[in-house]
Structure 1
Amino acid sequence: MSTRPLRFAAVATAAVLAATACSSSGADGKSEVTVWMYPVIKDEVASKQFWEQAEAGFEKSHPDVDLKIELQTFDKRDAQISAALAAGSGPDIALITPDQAATYRSVRGLLPVDDAVAADREAFFPETLEAATFDGELYGVPLFQNINTTAYNTDIFADAGLDLPTTWDDVLDAAPVLAKKGIAVMDYAGSAEQTLNLSYYPLLWQAGGTVFTEDGKDVAFDSPAGVSALQFLVDLKKAGGLPADAATAGPAVEGAPIATGKVAMRAVTSLPEVGQMRAALGNDSVELGLPLQGKVRATYGNPGLLSLTSINKDENRQSAYDVLAYLGSPSMQASLNKAAGNFPTRTDVKAPGSGPDFKALNDSLKYANPGEPSPVARQVMAALAPYIQAALGGDMPAEEALKKAAEEARGLLSRA
């Protein structure tokens, strides 16, 4: 793939990079390693304190290395990292997702990290390593796992005399019953800014479909499985089973219909969002279940990867490996997951809590899909999202919407 788009991105964000030095040795002879960390811990104050302590802990055991963990925001992360790679100035290590790893690797922006986990590779869950493995080499140390599952407002279902829906058919059956009470059975974040990994794709996987063909050379979301997933949403919308603004709604919980008793369930829910639901509705009114079942059960759950960028210099390579091994260690994972509410990528680290919520989320890990890595994954999402909105808005049938989206996506693939 050409790196021309990255060079353009570098020009556009030069100001961001001006203050960021590439990896080097400091004036005191120490090796310098820079990490770009993103908001794994939602609370800004807690995040700053956590990573400052992480820096200090590493430097205490590695006095010859100056570790700099720089906190970034998710806003424009792709453009920021792409610009850094193109300019050769930025972080040695960056927190990214598997689909980003596929993209950056395709433009030679990442370096393998097998050596960083050589000592304890067997301790990682195989699925988390597989998500970061391309052509037999590992391109990210799995730092944590996200997992999402179904959350219910149990009061709504109890008041309507309904069991908690666990399948698509259950959801469709409950929709008209609740619609008569002015309640949508399920929410959906159709905003174009929302990643499809947390909206349409879980339904696509539940239908037995995939975004791309197995060889990654074509899209497959316009298959009968893809049409059935989108038709499920369209049918729900027609039955009053989705909020009126589902086509454009964002993923927020606070202030949204799910938090005001106007929506009965959320099909893709993270642990922090469960906490927000409980804060709004009451502890006893919210319950987690397994991911919904269409043809199969499936949900989105992916590892956060600490990836080594091509910015890292040969003389700093071992120091970068040491940082990766330290941040991915059992003690660091345990403390990070406790602070962030995520799940471990290692078998020798326990889940960050106990009780029904953690059991439901832990049980859902086996249904997790980390997304489908592709150098054009994000561009395909951007092409597909407006057509899903059009189908939900009644502007075109589900099959036609996906057919038109696939035509655009195939154009992206051919140019890539």
Structure 2
Amino acid sequence: MKTPRRIASLTALAALAPLALAGCSSGGGAGGGGDVDSLSIVDYYNNDPDKSLVQAALDRCAADLGVSINRETVPGKDLIQKVLQRASSKTLPDVLMLDNPDVQEIAATGGLSPLSTYNVDTSGFADGILEAATYEGEVYGLAPTVNTLGIYYNKDLLQAAGVQPPTTWEELKAAAAKLTEGDRYGVAFSGIATYEGSWQFLPFMWSNGGDETDLTSPKVSQALSLWQDLVTGGSASASVINWSQADVKDQFVAGKAAMMVNGPWQIPALRKSPDLAWDSVKIPVREAGQESVAPLGGEVWTVPETGNKAKQAKAAEFVECISSDENQLALAEARFTVPTRTALAGEYVSRVPEMASFTEQVATARSRTGKLGEAWPEAATVIYDAIQLALTGKASPADAFKQASAG
């Protein structure tokens, strides 16, 4: 379920949104018009190298549009509270970056302006990311790049064991068992009791036809049975219930896991270990012929309702610019993410071959909020609670979801 703090924050934001509409962002009044020479921006890329890489894209758009920018970066955990504060003081930024699962919740408060108001072209974008940015039929933002999950594998270890990268669950279990030796496990993943654990579970659930609208279905529990089998069979550490995705990466880099479930944001860290030969494949499916479906991660750039129509129009141009082909390719190449315009996939993979499997995975990836919208956090909590129950032996996979749903 949503935490009380989260509910309170969103309720307060909904109450404050009308106040924000009567106010304005930096400069201009409720009906502000005329030339726009500056835009304020809030995002959570507050650490290098991401901060500077995104800054380069922002600077390109500022130059193209003939505006200066006043950028504020905040920690990701503080962003929603920052939006609340800015709404209360009637100083919402002209351009607001949001984690994609938050877009529908903020749009529901009336705090964002739909891009159709400004005739922004949303054609050619991956369906999943548009779905994440859509509320009640309106698209509220664009994401220049996204990320997802895959299976990394240690090429040397698999070759020595005569194991091929797995494409099905049975192949994954067989490979993981064969690769488990001494203090090395065959596979590592994050089953932690946070959204990270739910995020890592989704591709196994979705690829099997499981659905967040019915977490007690057999197709969902089958996916959890796979994880339980890997742990109880000794092919994955029982510590996965405590591991974040960064911890999983550390296990893989240290040679204590031959394979891992993780995302492309780990590539810079993997590159720091030149003796580690690795590659990646899409998330395995239960049966050959099924489609591998993983979740989409990434940030969406939006236009808040500030009351200054001229600035909102310019902000919409800025959002469109950030997601131009040039910026998508530049950001994706620099940050190991995937362009959201599907037509760019071929060119991107030719530039960054390491991203081939992730780019392929994005083509069928889904938004976490696509079906449940604002109710997604409740489902995510049920998922990670069920994972904890099953992997600690407190419940069978089927019972774990029933207990977690009832709680």
What TM-score range do you get, normalising by the shorter chain? 0.7 to 0.9
| 1:129 partnered with 2:126 | no
Q: What is the distance in 1 between the residues matched to 2:54 and 2:268?
A: 23
How big is the shift at 1:6? 3.1
The alpha carbon displacement at 1:290 in A equals 2.2
Q: 1:357 and 2:354 equivalent?
A: yes
User: Does the Cα contact within 8 Å between 1:7 and 1:86 map onto a contact in 2?
Assistant: no
Q: Deviations over 1:233-256 (max 9, x none)?
A: 111110112123101111115872
2:324 alignment partner, one of 322, 329, 343: 329
What percent identity do the matched residue pairs reach? 20
| Change in 2 beyond 3 A, CA 1:259/1:93 | same
Distance in 2, Cα, partners of 1:268 & 1:403: 28
CA contact (8 A) 2:187 2:259 kept: yes
Residue equivalent to 2:374: 375
Change (3 A) 1:227 1:190: same
1:187–1:48 Cα change, 3 Å: closer
Root-mean-square deviation (CA, aligned residues, Å) is 3.2
Residues 267-291 of structure 1: CA deviation (Å, up to 9, x unaligned): 3332x313423433625x2011122
Is the Cα contact below 8 Å between 2:14 and 2:110 reproduced in 1? no
CA 1:179–1:358 in 2, change beyond 3 Å: closer, same or farther?
closer
1:36 and 2:37 aligned: no
Q: Does 1:289 align with 2:286?
A: no
Aligned equivalents of 1:3 and 1:110: distance in 2? 19
Indicate conservation of the 8 Å contact 1:123/1:346, yes or no. yes
Q: Check whether the contact 2:98–2:299 (CA below 8 A) recurs between aligned residues.
A: yes
Partner in structure 2 of residue 216 of structure 1: none
TM-superposed CA distance for 1:388, in Å, is: 1.5
1:291-338 deviation digits (Å, cap 9, x = unpaired): 211244222234531122234533422121222122222222222222
Pair 1:198–1:21, CA change in 2 (3 A): same
> Any unmatched runs of 5+ in structure 2?
1-5, 16-23
Q: Deviations over 1:149-204 (max 9, x none)?
A: 21101222223232222211112223433334432221121222343453111111
For the residue of structure 1 that corresponds to 2:301, the secondary structure is strand
> What is the Cα deviation at residue 3 of structure 1?
8.3
Determine helix, strand or coil for the equivalent of 2:261.
strand
Name the residue aligned to 2:70. 68
CA–CA distance in structure 2, aligned partners of residues 209 and 38 of structure 1: 32
TM-score, normalising length: structure 1:
0.80
Contact 2:169/2:285, CA 8 A, preserved across alignment: yes
| More deviation, 103-112/177-186 | 177-186
Q: Which deviates more from structure 2 when the two are superposed, residues 136-145 or residues 351-360?
A: 351-360
Q: Secondary structure at the match of 2:302?
A: strand
Match of 1:263 in 2: 257
Whether the aligned pair in 2 keeps the contact of 1:55 and 1:69 (CA below 8 Å) is no
Question: Paired residues, what number?
Answer: 384
In structure 2, C-alpha distance between the alignment counterparts of 1:355 and 1:61, rounded to whole Å: 27
For structure 1, the 5+ residue unaligned runs are 12-19, 213-219, 409-416
Matched position secondary structure for 1:166: coil
Normalised to the residue count of structure 2, the TM-score between the two structures is 0.82
Q: Indicate how the Cα distance of structure 1 residues 85 and 189 shifts in structure 2: closer, same or farther if over 3 A, else same.
A: farther
1:306 aligns to 2:301 (yes or no):
yes
C-alpha distance in 1 between matches for 2:245 and 2:140 = 30
Which of the pair is proportionally richer in helix?
2
**Matching of residues 165-244 of structure 1 within 5 Å:** 165-196=166-197, 198-212=199-213, 220-244=214-238
Instruction: Please list, as runs of the form range in 1=range in 2, the aligned pairs for 1:77-96 lying within 5 A after superposition.
Output: 77-85=79-87, 88-96=90-98
Q: Write the deviation string for residues 191-233 of structure 1: whole angstroms up to 9, x where unpaired.
A: 2234345311111112211112xxxxxxx12211111111111
User: Aligned partner of 2:132: which letter?
Assistant: A
